[in-house]
Amino acid sequence: MSRLRRTLPPLASLLPFEAAARHESFTRAAAELSLTQAAVSRQIRALEHNLGTALFERGHRAVTLTDAGWRLARAVSDGLESVAACADGLRSRRHEDDIVVLAEIHVAMYWLIPRLPAFHAEHPDIRLRVNASTQPLTQVAELFDIALQSSSRPSGRFLPLFSVSDAVFPVCSPAVAAAASIDAKDLDRYPILHCRDDPNDVWMSWDEWLAAIDAGRSAPTGTVFDNYPVVLQAALMGQGIGLGWGRGLAHLLDSGQLVRPMTERLELPQGLSIHVGDQHLVDAADTRRQRVLDWLWQAMAA
């Protein structure tokens, strides 16, 4: 008998428990699951018996979670969300002939999508499905053939197939500052756009960038956003100065929507990486996937 079978509680009780914990109501959980209130109550009683502890405090008209109930509710919710995300990723691959390219959302929006017409003109027989994500590869549940990700972000078991250089530099709307018009000492006079500092996701901060260019100062405080694409959008809307990654910004800079208010830039010898995913193992002999990889390499090298 496996360890899971010995230690897991009755699986049939977990959905009723999760719904009851979320609503703090057996009646609303029953309505959501199309069960009777008595059926939900029985499942939760069975779960409490299996665990040997009370999960709810039962009042006259309401139920509330005990400390043990809160602990289990968090674990069950996280586990079911993970299963749901994986299942959704598996279902989303409806066409088995698709080559699934997973890309960081800013890479997809600002680098890959503008180049797709050229790809389709060269390879009309290949159907690409582009999935954009803000998560690093270590947190992605869906299957993919190829992934494009900044080299500094964690990739876990998905080792890079090849990497190309990039550069990081401040960007803003011309309404905020003119190109090459300010120095690091001037930053206190401008609104600064920060990307949130997550120890599980290595994303360069303003302080790290300033230290790397030997600016001799720390970054001013400013608005903090939870991901880089939102920082870019805020910069485009004239809300301040943010750090930009060069690959993907060429058309925004060429069109004048963004400018580089400082001349300094930090070169990244390994800035953007290509990874091969688990889906690649389904048909390792598929030459279409290699043609996509070859095209990506040529486009990135150019």
Which of 3.40.190.10, 3.30.70.2860, 3.50.50.60, 3.40.50.1110 is the CATH number of 99-162+272-301?
3.40.190.10
* Distance separating alpha carbons of residues 198 and 168, to the nearest angstrom: 19
Residue 1 has a pLDDT of 43
* Distance separating alpha carbons of residues 176 and 171, to the nearest angstrom: 10
3 state SS of 140 = coil
* Distance separating alpha carbons of residues 135 and 104, to the nearest angstrom: 7
| Confidence (pTM) | 0.62
Residue 198 has a pLDDT of 67
The domains of the chain are located at: 3-92, 99-162+272-301, 165-270
The structure tokens listed for 206 are: 């303003």
Q: Which residues of the chain have pLDDT under 50?
A: 1, 94, 282, 284-285
DSSP category for residue 56: E
Phi–psi pair at 196, nearest 5 degrees: -55, 145
* Distance separating alpha carbons of residues 84 and 299, to the nearest angstrom: 35
The structure tokens listed for 39 are: 């059926």
Number of alpha helices (DSSP H) and beta strands (DSSP E) in the chain: 11, 10
Residue 94 has a pLDDT of 46
Which amino acid does the sequence have at 142? E
Tell me if 3-92 shares its fold with 99-162+272-301: no
**Helical axes 37-51 vs 26-33, angle rounded to 10°:** 110
Residue 156 has a pLDDT of 85
Residue 157 has a pLDDT of 85
Residue 155 has a pLDDT of 85
Homologous superfamily (CATH) of 165-270 is: Periplasmic binding protein-like II (3.40.190.10)
Which of 1.25.40.10, 1.10.1030.10, 1.10.10.10, 1.10.645.10 is the CATH number of 3-92?
1.10.10.10
205-233 pLDDT tens trace: 999 999 999 999 999 999 999 888 889 99
* Distance separating alpha carbons of residues 86 and 64, to the nearest angstrom: 31
Which amino acid does the sequence have at 300? M
* Distance separating alpha carbons of residues 136 and 152, to the nearest angstrom: 10
